[in-house]
Amino acid sequence: MIWKKVTAYFICCVLSLALCGCAAAPEKDIGVPLSDAENTVIDAAGTELNIPESGDISIASVYAVTVPFIVALELSDQVTAINYKSKFWADSVEGLARAGTVGRGIVDLELLAEYSPDVLIHRTNDPNAAQAANDLGIPVMCIRAENIDEIAGTLDLMGRYFHTEPRAEEVKDWLDDKFLKIAQIVRNIPEAERLTAIVMGGEPGVVAGGDMLQSWMLEQAGAISLTAGIENTGSMNENIPAAWTNIGTEQIFEMNPEAIICTGSTVLNYTEEEILESPAWSGLEAVKTGRVMTIPAKQDAWDLPGINCALGTMWMLHKLYPEYFSSEELQTEIDDYYIFMFGRTFDSDYLGYIL
């Protein structure tokens, strides 16, 4: 499968670097369970965790990206406290509806101590919170999911830790099938028809850099990402998540993308209409052709790192190249995703998308 081939290549590269003396100690295979230790895994922060004897343990998280993984691996009934982007998740999953909270993005240590979960699932860039949770005697599993290999690694990690490996394999196979289908369609799009594009964040001038999932999704959908070489440095503006990069509108004007896709995973401080009707933006090819669009859906962001990135990528493919991937084909894939994740379909008006 695609992710297995890439992961194998990555591991070979890491081993080669270690043998060449490029690191003081052997590199760890981040996000993928150790193959030579039966009772431990290594998380995305490089921390070695002991695997519990039983996967039936309580879970807490303040990291919204955790939620789709929990649902996909059928761990919702084990959640004691959680943070989700939309009430949709609680309305759709009974286990999440019963869960409390230990914070929204930032760990509330007092509440964490009160709930005392068996494990806290967290992001990789908050070592202080991880240490504080460890000081409370609560193990911390850090995850990262900014591309398909990291998503697969997270499924491996959680699957082994929670003893749900068969389901993790099933989810990886489902994802692999979807991206193989996307790749087959994209191969039929002539290079001359490939559009240049960016994914814009919560404010104009803020973009997804080359190491973010949204840029990776763009490329999988057949677009040429104009921010592929931009590193995510974050922003001094506290309203802009650190993972996004503020390059400014002038640089976007210089890039002159043929399509501007606005994220659906955070609140926008602007609208598509404002961009399309603004004299300042009128010279851009994306504005001239009306290719300014926001990733669905209002209830369930399709570009949130995790399993639904397949859905967001297919949406991009349809919007950028509708003659190669129709709205009817996309609707079939939308229904398949929700049946796979929730065992049912949802009305488009409720989810908040129009094809």
Average pLDDT, the chain: 88
Cα–Cα distance measured from residue 189 to residue 224, given in angstroms and rounded to the nearest whole number: 12
If asked whether residues 157 and 232 sit together in one domain, one would say no
Q: Hey, what amino acid is at 80?
A: T
If asked whether residues 131 and 194 sit together in one domain, one would say no
Q: pLDDT tens-digit profile of 13-52? A: 433 433 333 333 333 344 455 445 679 999 999 999 999 9
Residue 155 counted as domain residue: yes
What pLDDT score was predicted for residue 146?
84
Checking if the pLDDT of 337 tops 90, the result is yes
If asked whether residues 197 and 123 sit together in one domain, one would say no
Q: pLDDT tens-digit profile of 210-256? A: 888 999 999 999 999 999 988 765 443 433 344 789 999 999 999 99
Checking if the pLDDT of 331 tops 70, the result is yes
Q: Are strands 292-294 and 245-246 parallel, antiparallel or unpaired?
A: unpaired
Per DSSP, the three-state class of 246 is strand
Residue 335 counted as domain residue: yes
Residue 182 counted as domain residue: yes
What pLDDT score was predicted for residue 9?
39
**Residue bearing the bigger pLDDT, 258 or 9:** 258
Checking if the pLDDT of 257 tops 50, the result is yes
If asked whether residues 313 and 346 sit together in one domain, one would say yes
What pTM value is reported for the model? 0.84
If asked whether residues 115 and 181 sit together in one domain, one would say no
Boundary (domain end) residue, out of 161, 184, 203: 161
Q: What is the CATH number of the domain that holds 83?
A: 3.40.50.1980
Helix pair 165-186, 148-161: axis angle to 10 deg:
170
Tokens standing for residue 332: 């079939």
Residue whose C-alpha is closest to residue 182's, from 66, 74, 330 = 330
Give the single-character DSSP code of 204: T
What pLDDT score was predicted for residue 233?
58
What pLDDT score was predicted for residue 232?
64
Listing DSSP states for 183-198 in one string gives: HHHHTTS-GGGPPEEE
Residue whose C-alpha is closest to residue 80's, from 66, 63, 61 = 61
Checking if the pLDDT of 156 tops 60, the result is yes
Residue 170 counted as domain residue: no
Checking if the pLDDT of 122 tops 50, the result is yes
If asked whether residues 225 and 94 sit together in one domain, one would say no
Residue 166 counted as domain residue: no
What pLDDT score was predicted for residue 57?
97
Tokens standing for residue 161: 């830790």
Checking if the pLDDT of 332 tops 70, the result is yes
Cα–Cα distance measured from residue 54 to residue 18, given in angstroms and rounded to the nearest whole number: 35
If asked whether residues 255 and 347 sit together in one domain, one would say yes
Residue 347 counted as domain residue: yes
Checking if the pLDDT of 304 tops 70, the result is yes
If asked whether residues 240 and 325 sit together in one domain, one would say yes
Residue 34 counted as domain residue: yes
Q: pLDDT tens-digit profile of 64-96? A: 999 999 999 999 999 999 998 889 999 999 999
Q: pLDDT tens-digit profile of 167-177? A: 999 999 999 99
Average the pLDDT over each of 116-130, 180-194, 292-306 and give the range with the smallest value. Answer: 292-306
> Predicted confidence band at 298 (pLDDT cuts at 50, 70, 90)?
confident
The number of folded domains in the chain is 2
Boundary (domain end) residue, out of 131, 161, 191: 161
What pLDDT score was predicted for residue 31?
46
Checking if the pLDDT of 6 tops 80, the result is no
If asked whether residues 107 and 132 sit together in one domain, one would say yes
Per DSSP, the three-state class of 325 is coil
The answer to whether residues 222 and 189 touch, using CB atoms and an 8 Å cutoff, is: yes
Boundary (domain end) residue, out of 126, 161, 196: 161
If asked whether residues 152 and 203 sit together in one domain, one would say no
Residue whose C-alpha is closest to residue 313's, from 169, 150, 199, 200 = 199
Cα–Cα distance measured from residue 284 to residue 278, given in angstroms and rounded to the nearest whole number: 11
Domain that holds residue 134: 2-161
What is the percentage of the chain residues whose pLDDT exceeds 70? 86
If asked whether residues 15 and 90 sit together in one domain, one would say yes
For residues 13, 19, 22, 28, the Cα torsion angle rounded to the nearest 10 degrees is 60
If asked whether residues 248 and 142 sit together in one domain, one would say no
The answer to whether residues 43 and 32 touch, using CB atoms and an 8 Å cutoff, is: no
